[in-house]
Amino acid sequence: MNNDELLKEVTIKAEKWLGPQYDEETRVEVKAMLDAEDKTDLIESFYKDLEFGTGGLRGIMGAGSNRMNIYTVGAATQGLANYLKDCFKELPQISVAIGHDVRNNSEKFAKIAADIFSANGIKVYLIDGPCPTPEVSYAIRKLGCQSGVMITASHNPKEYNGYKAYWSDGAQMIAPHDVKTIEYVNAITSVDQIKFDGNADLIEVVGEKLDKDYLADIHTLSLDPEADKRNKDMKIVYTPIHGTGLRLMYDSLKLWGFENVIHVDEQDVQSGNFPTVVSPNPENSEAMAMGVAKAKETGASLVIASDPDADRVGLVVRDKKGEYQLVNGNQICMLLLYYIITKNVEAGLLKGNEYCVKTIVTTETIKRIADANNVKCYDCFTGFKWIANVMRELEGSMRYIGGGEESYGFLAETFVRDKDSISANSLICECAAWAADQGLNLYEVLVDIYMKYGFSRERGVSVVRPGKSGAEEIVAMMKNFRENPPKTLGGSPLTCIKDYADLNCTDLKTGNVEKMDFPTTSNVLQFFTENGDKVSIRPSGTEPKIKFYVEVREDLQNKEDYEATVAKAEEHIDQILADLGVK
C-alpha cells in the first residue's frame, strides 16, 4: 500500500470517529488530526487497531483506533465480559477485580471498565485508589473472582497506558483463554456494542481489609524475623518513583520490623507525569538517582524502589569502597533465591520436592545454585504468566520457593501469581539484615555467591523502533538473525542455537536437532557459545522494541579480583553486541 492509499484509508476510518456515538473531546482531537497539514499523527493513530494481545492492551494515550482511550478500553472490556459470560454461565454470579496505577487516565479507564462489566451483570470489586498490580492478582484469588483487570503501563513513559487481563487463578491469561478472549474482543467492531451504562449495585469498592490481609500474608514469607528485630534500625531508603508502592510498601516494611525507612519525599508524590524522572523505570540509574542521593545524605546501607505499578523492584547497594552500585534484575533474582534456599537449608526444610522458576533469558547462575541444593529449576518463556503456568501445573505436587526474571521481577509467594515488589523488597531488606548479622552487606553477599557458584555478567539492550516502519524493521532483523546466524560471538564459536519459534535446538557441532519441551512457541532466538556465553533475542510483545539479552562467563578466582572481572566481562559483552551489530 502506497502513502496515498494509506492516507485515504485512515482518513475514512478517522471520519467515523466524528460521529455522535463518540464524545466531544474525542471528536475535537480527531478533527484536529484530520485538519493538520502534517498527517503523521493521523496515520499513527488510525493505521491499525490497537491489538488486544495475550497480555492485554498497551499503547500511547489519545484518540484513534491505535491508541489507549475509553473506546479501545471499552471494546476490550466488552469482549472480555462476553467471554466470561460464556465460560462461567453456570455460576449464579460472575465477579472480577479491578485496580489501577497512578497514570493519567488510569482511574477513568478503571471506572469505565467497572461500568461495562457491571452493565453486563458481572460483579465488580473495584480497589479504592492507585494500587500495586500484584494486589489485583491477590484480590482475584482472595475474593474468588473469575477474572481481573489492572489498568497500567508498568514502567513505560508517561504517554502510555495499558490494560492487563487476568484469569481466575490470578495469573495473566494463557491458551486457550488468551486466544479466545482476543477473538471475543475482535468481535467488538462498533461502539454501539459496548454497554457503557454501569449498574452501581454490582460495583463494590474494596481497600482497607484487602490491604491488611495482603500484608499479613506477605509477612508469612519472613524467614528470619529475629534478624529483622536485631537490625530494626538499619537505614533503608525506599522510593515508589511516584507510583503505587506508596500504598503498601512502607506498611509492609514496618510490619516486618524495620523502623528506619527513609523517604524520598519528592518521589512520594503520586503523579502520572513522573516529574522527577525521565522514565519511571528502576532498571535505570537515572530513576534511582534521587534515592542514591538520599542514601549518601543519610548513610543508608541500601536503596530499594518499585516501578509505578509496584510489580518490579529496584536495588542499589554499597560496595566495599562505600560507593553505591545498581544491582541488575538477574542479580536480584539470584540473591533472593540464594537467600530463600540458604534459609531453607539452615532450617532443614528442603525435602527434595522444592522447585524454583526462571525465564529462558534469566541468568544460568540461578540453575547452578538450585542444582547444588537439590532444588529443581524450571525454565519458562519471558513473562510472569509463564512462571504462573509452571506453578499451576505443579500445585499440590511440589513446593514453590520462588521465581523471577531478569526484568526486575520476583515472586516469593503462591497467593499472588504475578511479580510482586512488595514481598520482594521486604525479603531484600530481611536478606540485608541476615547479612548484617554476619558482618556483610548485600554487595559482599553477591560476591560470595559468584565465588561459590561461578561468575556471570549480564546486560540487556533494547533497540527501539517505533511506528509502522519500526515494526517492519524488527521483523526483518529477526529474519536475518535466523537466516544468517553469526559463526562466533566475542571470539568464541557458536555451539548451539535454540529457536523457540519452532522449538528446535540445533547442536552446531553434531548437526543434531532436538525438539524442546515448551507449552507453545515464542518468537525468541538464542545463541550459545563454547565459552559458556548466552545471547537471547526477542521482540517485545508490548512495546515497539527488540531486546538483546547477553550473559557472559568469566573466571573469578579471588574476591579481590571481582571488580576487575566485572570490567573484563563488560568488555566481553561490548564485543558480542558489536558482533551482532547492536549499538
Please, are residues 81 and 116 in contact by the beta-carbon 8 Å criterion? yes
User: Of the residues 154, 423, 426, 522, which is catalytic?
Assistant: 154
**Cell numbers representing residue 363 in the block:** 541468568
- Is 154 designated active site? yes
Is 465 exposed, middle or buried (CB count within 10 Å of its CB: 0-12, 13-18, 19+)?
middle
Residue 222 DSSP label: -
Enumerate residues 6+ apart whose C-beta is below 8 A from 428.
302, 304, 313, 315, 332, 335, 336, 442
| Phi, psi angles (nearest 5°) of residue 382 | -65, 135
Distance (Å, whole) CA 280 – CA 308: 7
Q: Look at strands 123-127 and 95-100 and give their pairing.
A: parallel
Q: How far is CA 1 from CA 5, 37, 40, 44, 50, in A?
A: 6, 21, 16, 15, 20
DSSP string, 259-289: --EEE-GGGGS--TT-TT-SS--TTSHHHHH
Cα 404 versus chain centre, distance: 10
Are 241 and 287 in contact, with CB atoms under 8 Å apart? yes
Partners of 455 in the beta sheet?
Answer: 554
5-38 burial, b at 16+ Cβ within 10 Å, e below that, comes to: eeeeebeebbeebeeeebeeebeebbeebbeeee
Cell of 556: 573469578
Distant-in-sequence, close-in-space partners of 269: CB < 8 Å, separation ≥ 6: 242, 275
User: Which of these, 458, 343, 461, 459, lies nearest to 402 by C-alpha position?
Assistant: 343
Dihedrals phi, psi of 282, to nearest 5 degrees:
-65, -5
Grid cell for residue 55: 497480555
- Give SS3 for 146: coil
Name which of 424, 423, 445, 425 is nearest 434 in CA terms. Answer: 445
- Residue that has been written with the C-alpha cell 531508603 in this structure: 237
- Active site amino acids: 154
